[in-house]
Homo-oligomer: A and B are copies of this chain.
């Protein structure tokens, strides 16, 4: 079966890699995931059943979603399920209830791609082996295609074992992890309120091939903010004083946002990553938009950063008598993994033939992840949660146009997770 699974994993991953879909637009992806899980006998909850509408952050508008739905229909979406995801609520929770008392174990997998133009260089493996992105400007450059495949692999392993298991297994397929936008809506829809053990995972992230990390604690709390200023246009030569200059407001905001004080209680970050303003050289700019993010070692520090950004944006708007809007289009918190659960995973990895080195815990790091919302929710209810990393050989760093994983990691990852099901149930005494 292993050989067959290995091939399945590769096929799933490559199909998804060729058809990358960005956050809240994973319509084709979700339709295929749902179809596979359904065939495997899982009970499915989907779309708004598992997503709180009002907690979807940075969701594309109706027009974009409708256009993408059309694309999905034309590009191999599963006809039986695609309509479920038509409006972009693409989350899925697949449940295997054994009817034998026991704990509930949940595994999270994210499905979204990025707005990156994939390299067309001859030495790029997806080019060489014919599975490069078919969508210009979109790419699975973070490995979520692999994550989804691993999720389906784990489902495949479990599906046949229903009678050997106890408790409940939940497989959570999350949209829009990029920009930390999707997890919160699933947490708010209560998909983990009954969960005793929660395991999220990522491939790569600098962990070497054959290595495994059981508890990644270094995620920073973060907020993703879209800021827009709206002023009044005027001819820059003829009547400049009649303008209300949104570009100047934005420039003032940028400088002062970057000048937000460091925080003595821990790591903080802030970045205005994009700024677009104005519509002509000789016109006082009447609009400006900025993409901002803040981070903090703790949620309180991130909150401090976010509050300062808000003050500065409001102040910049006041300076130039322009209107402004701040939209939170993504958010995540920090979280500490449950050591007990991490230890279980660590032991599963150590027992795995493909793993040459397992590590229990890493506190460093400066990225962010919204799986932390699931983790916090589970821990608050008395459950345990961890975030583990499957090391792999990367062709280039995450979010790079030449990003690529080593596919051997797919099977190895499935095996560790699969082992963890049995070990956790065993530990729970069933």
Q: Which residues of A approach B to under 8 Å, CB–CB?
A: 179, 220, 222, 224, 235-243, 245, 247-248, 250-252, 254-256, 258-259, 261-265, 267-285, 288, 291-293, 295, 304, 311-312, 314-321, 365-368, 399
Interface of A is mostly: mixed
A241–B268 CA distance with the chains assembled, in angstroms = 11
With A273-B281, A311-B319, A315-B317 known to touch, is A367 a contact of B237 (CB < 8 Å)? yes
A285 and B273 within 8 A (CB): yes
Q: 29 A-B contacts, Cβ less than 8 Å apart?
A: A222-B237, A224-B281, A235-B366, A237-B293, A237-B367, A238-B366, A239-B264, A239-B366, A240-B271, A247-B254, A248-B256, A248-B258, A251-B255, A255-B255, A256-B319, A258-B258, A258-B261, A262-B262, A264-B366, A271-B281, A272-B285, A273-B281, A273-B282, A275-B276, A275-B278, A311-B318, A311-B320, A315-B317, A315-B318
B262 and A256 within 8 A (CB): no
Q: Which residue of B lies closest to A242 (CB)?
A: B264
Number of copies: 4
A240 and B269 within 8 A (CB): yes
With A248-B255, A319-B311 known to touch, is A268 a contact of B274 (CB < 8 Å)? no
With A256-B255, A281-B179, A317-B315 known to touch, is A261 a contact of B273 (CB < 8 Å)? no
A258–B261 CA distance with the chains assembled, in angstroms = 8
A274 and B269 within 8 A (CB): no
A311–B255 CA distance with the chains assembled, in angstroms = 16
Contact of A262 among B179, B240, B254 (CB under 8 A): B240
* Chain B residues positioned under 8 Å from A318 (CB to CB): 311, 314-315, 318
Q: Which residue of B lies closest to A268 (CB)?
A: B262
B256 and A252 within 8 A (CB): yes
Contact of A269 among B236, B250, B273, B278 (CB under 8 A): B236
A304 and B241 within 8 A (CB): yes
9 closest Cβ contacts across the A-B interface?
A315-B319, A258-B259, A236-B271, A315-B318, A274-B278, A281-B291, A251-B254, A273-B281, A251-B251
